[in-house]
Amino acid sequence: MPHPPRDPAAGEPVTAVSGEPDGPDHYLVGLDLRGRRVVAVGGGSVVTRRLGALAAAGAQIEVIAIDPTPTVESFPGITLQRRAYRDGDLSGAWYALACTDDPEVNAAVVAEADRRRIFCVRADIARAGSAVTPASIRHDGLTVGVLADGDHRRSARVRNEISSALLDGDLSAVPTAPHAPGVALVGGGPGDPDLITVRGRRLLAQADVVVADRLAPAQLLAELGPTVTIIDAAKVPYGRAMAQEAINDALIEHARAGRFVVRLKGGDPYVYGRGFEELAACVAAGVPVTVVPGISSAIAAPASAGIPVTHRGITHEVIIVSGHLAPDHPDSLVDWSALGRMRGTVVLMMAVERLELFTDALIAAGRDPRTPVAIIENGSMPGQRRTDTVLAQAGRAAGDAGVRPPAIVVIGAVAGFDARTGSVGSSPA
């Protein structure tokens, strides 16, 4: 029977074009590769795709390739031999991959593997190997693999549908046992519920108690079950706020009562989120705590408005600054003179109320009054709005536009970028 052609990038054989049966089904099995030698012959795109999963499985990876890709060459923890394959290279291996662009070499690798009783994937003609790689995903301690009788497009499509259903919660994968008591500090991202991390969403689905910030994605709270207790820990700018000590106490109290508590924050827990204060309080109380990083609005809001905070040849630095205190406040820790002398990007957070004070301080310290400024309200959310101005007029422009928190202020040449036209602007930095 002729072997089916192979799409090297997909990890699965293409359906045979003849009307003959494909042969026996493959036996799907999980391999424990921890500390065991795995040899990949070839250093192209297929090996590039496989290295991450093999490394995550704890394999002792050896790559033999004449001309490996930069990713393969720089992959941490592997042994790389820059040479052609030689018979005997599979000695001591538990698993092998024949992934060169030379069918004769791949056939020789498979032949050696067969002699040594080593299961071997052949990338160009999958049925000619003794193993095939399923389209797979890993989710919450589950590994799901899909084989579709050689139809790699079908297996990949089904795998993607399963992955999407697991992430969205349409397909339940919540462990039967409850999560152990403790606290998880979860960064919810800039506001769009799709921008929370996979791990953050998984832990949120396991929570008994959720202590939520005002800027935490509200739609995520709507997905919680009816038995989940939600505690409002909002800190409204210049308004009502739950004291930090009360938040710490709530985390500790519920965890000690045997509950799993998720402290859901906007952005990242450690970027003006007082995350470390909460971690320290939990550690001092003997409560187990996990930190799940989130996408900070300091980076995400500009990005969602078409602004990169760094750009090759234009800015090599970005500084994120709290606008919680005025420049002349005795408790301010910001060196505004230094900020005024720098040429890179300044991102101001919580700065709307005092924006004119900050811009005046930067100009007084030497920053060009014509420096572009972009103010992004509700970054990543349906109500996102961008106001463009220059440093000398930023305070007035924000007032005229009625800018309200949450808003991110970007100062620097990148604030003049226009993603619609690809323009990098012309104003001074």
Catalytic residues: 213, 235
d(CA 291, CA 279): 8
| The Cα angle at residue 345 between residues 343 and 347, in degrees rounded to 5 | 140
> If you ran DSSP here, which 8-state letter would residue 19 be given?
S
Contacts of 126 (CB under 8 A, 6+ apart): 3, 4, 6, 12, 13, 132, 150
Structure-token match 């070839």, residue found: 42
Can you say whether residue 182 is alpha, beta or left, with left for phi > 0 and alpha for psi between -120 and 50 degrees?
A: left
- Residue from 295, 291, 298 nearest 197 by CA: 295
- Residue from 136, 186, 362 nearest 291 by CA: 186
Structure-token match 């032949």, residue found: 111
226 and 164 in contact (C-beta within 8 Å)?
A: no
Q: What is the dihedral of CA 53, 59, 64, 69, to 10 degrees?
A: 30
Contacts of 67 (CB under 8 A, 6+ apart): 43, 82
Cβ-based neighbour number of residue 419 at 10 Å: 11
- Distance set, CA 112 to CA 39, 93, 109, 207 (Å): 12, 11, 5, 51
- Distance set, CA 254 to CA 287, 373, 378 (Å): 10, 44, 32
Contacts of 399 (CB under 8 A, 6+ apart): none
Alpha-helical segments (H) within 4-85: 45-56, 70-74
